[in-house]
Amino acid sequence: MKLSRPVSWFLLAFGVWSWVIWVTFVKNLIKDSSGLAFDDGHPTAYFWVHLLLAVVSFVLGTVVGVIGLRGVRALRRIS
């Protein structure tokens, strides 16, 4: 499959964006003082569900970003 230049860059940007957003979210989740993420110092179900969402998003963001990166590299070889 051949990706166009805009699609390749979009996928790469989406992968980077996903990492930036979810790293920020996990940092905020760990520092949570509202009582949602931790109850007496122990992680709650809220914490585990959102950590799982972040991990899945890291994986998907990485996969999408790598596809975009490969598309950009392939286009540079052709040009």
Q: What is the pLDDT of residues 15-73, one digit of tens each?
A: 999 999 999 999 999 999 899 999 998 999 999 999 999 999 999 999 999 999 999 99
pTM above 0.75, yes or no: yes
Burial 15-35 (b: 16+ CB within 10 A, else e): beebeeebeeebeebeeeeee
- Alpha carbons 55 and 75: distance in angstroms, whole number: 30
Q: Give SS3 for 32.
A: coil
- HSE-CB at 33 with a 13 A cutoff on CA atoms is 0
